[in-house]
Amino acid sequence: MNKKSPPALNITGKSRVFGIIADPIGHVRGPSMFNPYFAEHGRDAVLVPFHVSPQDLPDFWYGIRTLRNFGGFLVTIPHKFQAAELCDTLTPMAERTGAVNIVRLNEDGDTTGAMFDQDGFVAGLAERHYDLADKRVLLLGAGGAATALAHGLAAAGVKRLTIANRHYDRAKTLAEKLADSLDSGLESGGGKLDGIDIMSGPPVTRDVDLVVNATALGLSDSDPLPLAEDQLRPGLMVADIIMQPAETKLLRTARARGADVHYGEPMLRCQLPMMLKFWGLEDGTA
């Protein structure tokens, strides 16, 4: 039986153009997720990848303001903090985290940034009925995605959050940012976090239920594991936010050692309705 081909994307002179920015760019999954949606739902829109280096991001930002058919773009490694600084306005979660993963170009040329990574990640785990309430979580990384996920995990009611990063100061900054958010009213589904810890040495999973890799380690199969192989064990849930490759070396190793694994794809897929609404491609705007 022949596999049904996805609907063809029909780009016209009236097409609304969206993008995704990253450095490197080859791992991104946005075009393969958004463009089939546009085609299937008859949206006259297209999403294309833009390989933009950090030093060139301000010039890119200046240039897109002149494109009258440009609607906005997704933001991924390593631009989430820098993009937030360049936005004219931020949604409340983007303000809390200081990071964005999507930007909207408004009619007046101003840019509004939002952050939905935390919502997509939590929703992806909920799809498989994994309850975050009272879980002890080891978060690997302290970048833009990790910052958003820390807020999402706290809001979902995790009991304890340990942040591990090779740069202690970055982990400390994230811990302080999350503590400030909790003090200023970020609701936790399970009540207050018992504590936020910083792990500056090799990550240890002895007292952990869930490990979340929010680093870039895994984009290449030659990358080292973000924690020692002997820390992966049965009874542990190991999640990765990397989408390409679909199964990173971390997840492959964790599965081989008897741990449960959670892939990166659901995090973006579960954000799709939120992102479409933010861009004005569904009923309502954010």
pLDDT above 80 for 186: no
Listed residue (206, 242, 208, 200) closest to 225, CA to CA: 242
Return the beta strands (E) in the chain as ranges: 16-22, 45-51, 70-75, 89-90, 102-105, 111-114, 136-140, 160-164, 195-199, 210-213, 237-240, 260-262
| pLDDT tens track for 142-180 | 999 999 999 999 999 999 999 999 999 999 999 999 999
Q: For the chain, how many residues are written?
A: 286
Domains of the chain: 16-116+271-278 (3.40.50.10860), 118-265 (3.40.50.720)
pLDDT > 80? residue 257: yes
How far from the centroid of its chain's Cα atoms is residue 262's Cα?
Answer: 14
Q: Which residues are catalytic?
A: 80
User: Predicted confidence band at 184 (pLDDT cuts at 50, 70, 90)?
Assistant: confident
Per residue in 2-34, pLDDT (tens digit) is: 566 667 788 999 999 999 999 999 999 999 999
- Report pLDDT for 192: 62
What residue type is assigned to position 143 of the chain? G
Name the band, by pLDDT with cuts 50, 70 and 90, for residue 190: very low
pLDDT digits 0-9 by tens, 108-140? 999 999 999 999 999 999 999 999 999 999 999
User: What order of strands is seen across the sheet that includes strand 111-114?
Assistant: 45-51, 16-22, 70-75, 102-105, 111-114, 89-90
Q: Residue 252's CB: how many other CB atoms inside 10 A?
A: 14
Between CA 221 and CA 212 the distance in angstroms is: 18
pLDDT at 235 > cutoff 80: yes
